[in-house]
Chains A and B, each alone.
Chain A
Amino acid sequence: MSAPLRVFIADDEAPARERMKSLLADIRPSVATSLAGEAANGLEVIERLPASGAQVLLLDIQMPGMGGLELARHLAGLQSAPAIVFVTAHDRHAVEAFELNALDYLMKPVRAERLAAALKKAAAAGPAPRERLERAGEQAHAGAREFFSVSERNRIVLVPVGEVLYLKAELKYVTLRTKAGEHLIEEPLVSIEREFAERFVRVHRNCLVARGAIRGFERGGGETEEEPHWNVVLEGLSERLPVSRRQWPALRALLPEARE
């Protein structure tokens, strides 16, 4: 017999976690499990799960701190990402999204047989690819994420979306710039632009800036460089970012008081 499956339980209601534990005990004859950890909100999961060695996460999608669908996307970046079984009491949109993207889910109150089947399936299939989670997030009307995440080997660093001043694509990575520093994430700029259309605006083929951080524009380049162009000035940054000629008309419209 193989080693017991390490299961992590995330639910904000204590009775719901208790119930899940007694169900896991009930199905032990058919699926051997051990408890890798518990969490009562999204941030606790981010903190505790990576080091827990969890193979399967039973994730309630309606938790304070961070929604389950966003959480799943952050976890997908882990080297040893767990397989996720979503749990919901009643969320039509989410259930539809799970169905469309072949993600496994359980409805509360959970039945023992369904739980056993879901665990076996999850153990066999492993973690779902990130793209499927992303698509499910969009389809479930979960809204834009609240954090970007940087996965280190055994840890997830969250960067609140509100702190990001600009994002710049360089080769394989995208650099996130906040007041405090820089982070590298592995996500295409195009999908970030689509997800956060209200927050970030494109200034250049390879760069998005936070609309709220734009303080103005100034002339750049000139005689010394090949072509004169506009630079965008961001709050709290001495660095200037070039604006492409293609984006300039749209950007100028954002700042009616922009001077020549």
Chain B
Amino acid sequence: MVSIRQNEYPNALPDFRNLGVVARILLVANLLALAAALVREAEPGRVLEAFVQSTVLVEPPLLATLVLLLAGAPLLRRLPWWRGCALVLALVLALSAGAHALLGAIAGVGLVRMLVLAALATALVLAYLWLHQRAYSPALAEARLQALQARIRPHFLFNSLNAVLALMRSDPKRAERTLEDLADLFRALMSDGRNLVRVADEIGLIERYAAIEQLRLGERLRMSWELDEAPVDALLPPLVLQPLLENAIYHGVEPGTGTSDVLVRVERRGNRVHVLVENPAPPPGAPPRHGNHLALDNIRERLMLFFDADARLETGERDGRYRVELEMPYRAGRA
């Protein structure tokens, strides 16, 4: 089972494939180089010069390390923390020694000094990443995820039950189907929000949700689905798509009296999963319905907990259509 609980060792190395982690390493390493330059040179003018000079020796092994860590990330994540750290340290030292052999003459720094500095810097970066990870430790993240569990508007539940009651006599078959759909929806809502689910399951869920809305709203709702290119095996946090569709219907369809088109598109582009949900923008001057940003903030925060800085959720308006775009890394898996 894939979940954020996969982080079983409290002291595991971070995922080096994650953009946020890579950015933090680059930032911390360069800040250290700058600090070293500040310590060495008293004159402000010379500090920059010293910093630039040191980058000649710092950047090549740093970048090479990052590339190798990226490639070896799956392996590193399986090692206990201290072994992982030892491996990273050995990697940095080897690459630094290599860089020194090639470029040492330009920079004019002794090999031993360079290796000691590289080891210190590596230790500092690892310690920082460890602290950062503890701050977002799985236990804490789990607690937050549970608090963030997606919620359906009660308004929807009671109106749906009312619609089912209306069908009981006229179309008992459809009433049955609708109750089954409702049951699936609420099973998903009450399930463990910490486990990733497959895109195929999430799509099945929003199709059921849309069927219920269709029953309530009739021809006022016209759904279009673009799901042929959807990466069915991609993993994502549960109930990320459903609130987007719920918002689209609540803000884009219910306030209107005519027919409103809602589009849902899920596709894979390279190593990213793209989701687009589009609905008619409310007419200017229409009274705003509240509660929009709560759902979006909720999804954003859950994406952050699962993907760190590697996922994004953007909203905007174009040609009278309100669009929500969601992008996240493609990770295949069986949930």
Mark out the residues of chain A between 110 and 156 whose CB falls within 8 Å of any chain B CB in the assembled complex: 110, 143, 146
Chain B interface, number of residues (Cβ within 8 angstroms): 25
- Chain A interface, >50% SS class: loop
Given contacts A90-B154, A146-B287, contact A16 B257 (CB under 8 A): no
Given contacts A16-B166, A18-B166, A90-B154, contact A108 B255 (CB under 8 A): no
- Chain B interface, >50% SS class: helix
B281 to chain A, nearest CB (A): 15
Asked whether A89 is an interface residue with its Cβ less than 8 Å from the other chain, the reply is: yes
Q: Which of B20-28, B130-138, B189-197, B211-219 contacts A (4 or more CB under 8 A)?
A: B211-219
Inter-subunit contact B257/A41 (CB<8 Å): yes
Q: CB-CB < 8 A to B154: which residues of A?
A: 89-90
Asked whether B254 is an interface residue with its Cβ less than 8 Å from the other chain, the reply is: yes
Q: CB-CB < 8 A to B257: which residues of A?
A: 12, 40-41, 43, 64-65
Give 12 A-B pairs besides A40-B257, A108-B158 with Cβ atoms closer than 8 angstroms: A13-B159, A13-B163, A15-B166, A16-B159, A16-B163, A19-B162, A22-B166, A43-B257, A64-B255, A90-B157, A108-B161, A162-B285
Asked whether A34 is an interface residue with its Cβ less than 8 Å from the other chain, the reply is: no
What number of residue pairs across chains A and B have CB atoms under 8 A from each other?
64
Listed in ascending order, the chain A residues whose CB lies under 8 Å from chain B are 12-16, 18-19, 22, 40-41, 43, 62, 64-65, 67, 89-91, 107-110, 143, 146, 162
Asked whether B6 is an interface residue with its Cβ less than 8 Å from the other chain, the reply is: no
Given contacts A18-B166, A89-B155, contact A109 B256 (CB under 8 A): no
Q: Counting chain B CB atoms within 10 Å of each CB, which of A65, A109, A162 scores highest? A: A109
Q: 28 A-B pairs, CB-CB below 8 angstroms? A: A12-B220, A12-B254, A12-B257, A13-B162, A15-B162, A15-B166, A16-B159, A16-B162, A16-B166, A19-B165, A19-B166, A22-B166, A40-B257, A41-B257, A62-B155, A64-B255, A64-B256, A65-B257, A67-B287, A89-B155, A90-B153, A90-B154, A90-B155, A90-B158, A108-B158, A108-B162, A109-B161, A109-B165
B143 to chain A, nearest CB (A): 27
The listed residue (B158, B165, B169, B218) touching A89 by CB distance below 8 A is B158
Q: Counting chain B CB atoms within 10 Å of each CB, which of A15, A18, A89 scores highest? A: A15
B256 to chain A, nearest CB (A): 6
Q: CB-CB < 8 A to B218: which residues of A?
A: 13-14
Q: CB-CB < 8 A to A16: which residues of B?
A: 159, 162-163, 166, 216
Q: Counting chain A CB atoms within 10 Å of each CB, which of B166, B169, B220 scores highest? A: B166
Q: Whole-angstrom distance between the alpha carbons of A62 and B166 in the complex?
A: 18
Q: CB-CB < 8 A to A146: which residues of B?
A: 287
Q: Whole-angstrom distance between the alpha carbons of A18 and B175 in the complex?
A: 14
Q: Counting chain A CB atoms within 10 Å of each CB, which of B157, B161, B256, B257 scores highest? A: B257
Q: CB-CB < 8 A to A90: which residues of B?
A: 153-155, 157-158
